[in-house]
């Protein structure tokens, strides 16, 4: 759990990377407003805005979003073993799977753990969550290895994430990329409490996502697999 958040000074933030202004040619108004919001929320930490396909350097890594797709999510057993993930898409019928296909590169000379964090927001202001079992379906279909956060040096590695939003909030939605570290709170007289310190942040405009087929290949072309049912509990 996050106990508190403090920010570093503007000078340190600039030394760590990141600057003002947009770098992409397709940064929309919502991304611009979100960049301004996070810059104001965290004084001294710039929050530049980027477009789809732009490379972002942060904390010794590069990150680039290559493709964004909106599709119907899977919400049934046996594919979705997590009950929270099943219930979310069962109860929120308007929510779609937001498929983010990206690449990450470790710019350090040694193998390093990718420690950047990500959030998604639709243009309705709703924050998305991340769904591991829908992600497994996309990873398997694309034939890529499951994500390993320990990245080899100087090699682009595939990064796939599945979030959620509604169709109405998809066009111009954003991803926030940021770097934090756990550090001891200098105001704690006992020197025991840890806080989360924000060092860098950026907003990426996800543009207009492509409309994709159902996330589960077995459900396409009108197929409804016999196993796609959620068992009900019997009352005792």
Residue 228 and residue 76 in contact, taking contact as beta carbons nearer than 8 Å: yes
pLDDT category, 235, cuts 50, 70, 90?
Answer: very low
Mean pLDDT, to the nearest integer, of 2-28?
A: 44
Q: How many CB atoms lie within 10 A of CB 146?
A: 11
Q: Comparing 144 with 12, which gets the higher pLDDT?
A: 144
pLDDT at 93: 95
Number of domains observed in the structure of the chain: 1
Q: Is residue 232 part of a domain?
A: no
Say what the pLDDT of residue 112 is: 97
**Is the pLDDT confidence value at 230 over 70?**
no
Any residues with CB less than 8 A from the CB of 94 and at least 6 apart, and which? 166, 167
Residue 231 clears pLDDT 90, i.e. is over it: no
- The CATH number linked to 188 is 2.60.40.1240
Q: Which stretch of DSSP H or E encloses residue 161?
A: strand 156-166
Cα-atom radius of gyration of the chain, to the nearest Å? 20
Q: Within a domain: residue 226?
A: no
Copy the structure tokens of residue 171: 């066009």
The contacts of residue 180 (CB under 8 Å, 6+ apart) are: 5, 117, 196, 197, 198, 199
The dihedral of CA 58, 148, 101, 175: what is its sign? negative
At residue 89, the 3 state secondary structure works out as helix
In this structure, is residue 234 part of a structural domain? no
Q: Residue 186's pLDDT is what?
A: 93
Identify whether 229 is part of a domain: no
On whether the CB atoms of residues 201 and 42 are closer than 8 A, the answer is: yes
Q: Determine, yes or no, domain membership for 227.
A: no
Task: From residue 123, give the alpha-carbon distance in Å to each of 32, 54, 167, 169.
Answer: 12, 21, 10, 5
Q: How confident is the model at residue 200 (pLDDT cuts 50, 70, 90)?
A: very high
The encoded tokens of residue 127 equal: 């924050």
* % of the chain residues with pLDDT over 90: 80
Residue 223 in any domain: the answer is no
Mean pLDDT, all residues of the chain: 88
pLDDT at 26: 81
Residue 226 has pLDDT above 80, yes or no: no
Structure confidence by residue, pLDDT tens digits, 29-87:
999 999 999 999 999 999 999 999 999 999 999 999 999 999 999 999 999 999 999 99
Residue 221: the pLDDT is: 81
Instruction: Give the residue-averaged pLDDT of 142-155.
Output: 94
Sign of the four-CA dihedral 93, 207, 150, 192: negative
Q: Which 3 state secondary structure label does DSSP give 207?
A: coil
- Quick one: pLDDT at residue 57? 98
pLDDT tens digits for range 169-192: 999 999 999 999 999 999 999 989
Structure tokens at 47: 């929050």
Report if residue 204 sits inside a domain: yes
Query: Which residues constitute the domain of residue 85?
Result: 5-215
Tell me the C-alpha to C-alpha distance, in Å, between residue 122 and each of 17, 28, 34, 42, 230.
Answer: 26, 13, 11, 21, 29
DSSP label of 227: T
Q: Is the pLDDT of residue 193 over 80?
A: yes
Residue 41 is assigned to a structural domain of this protein: yes
Cα distances (Å, whole numbers) of residue 117 to 78, 149, 209, 233:
29, 12, 21, 37
């Amino acid at each position: 759990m996050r106990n508190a958040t403090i920010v570093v000074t503007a000078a340190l933030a600039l030394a760590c990377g990141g600057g003002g202004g947009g770098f992409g040619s397709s940064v929309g108004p919502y991304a611009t407003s979100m960049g301004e919001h996070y810059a104001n929320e965290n004084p001294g930490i710039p929050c530049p805005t980027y477009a789809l396909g732009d490379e972002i350097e942060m904390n010794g890594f590069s990150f680039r979003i290559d493709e964004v797709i909106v599709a119907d999510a899977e919400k049934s057993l046996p594919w979705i073993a997590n009950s929270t993930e099943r219930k979310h898409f069962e109860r929120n019928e308007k929510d779609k799977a937001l498929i983010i296909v990206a690449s990450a590169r470790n710019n350090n000379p040694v193998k390093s753990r990718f420690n950047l964090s990500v959030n998604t927001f639709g243009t309705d202001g709703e924050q998305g969550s991340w769904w591991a079992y829908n992600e497994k379906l996309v990873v398997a279909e694309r034939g890529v290895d499951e994500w390993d956060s320990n990245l080899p040096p100087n090699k682009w590695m595939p990064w796939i994430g599945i979030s959620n939003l509604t169709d109405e909030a998809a066009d111009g939605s954003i991803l926030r990329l940021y770097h934090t570290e756990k550090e001891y709170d200098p105001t704690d007289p006992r020197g025991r409490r840890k806080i989360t310190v924000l060092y860098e942040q950026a907003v990426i405009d996800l543009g207009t996502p492509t409309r994709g087929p159902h996330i589960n290949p077995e459900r396409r072309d009108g197929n409804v697999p016999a196993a796609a049912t959620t068992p009900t509990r019997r009352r005792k």
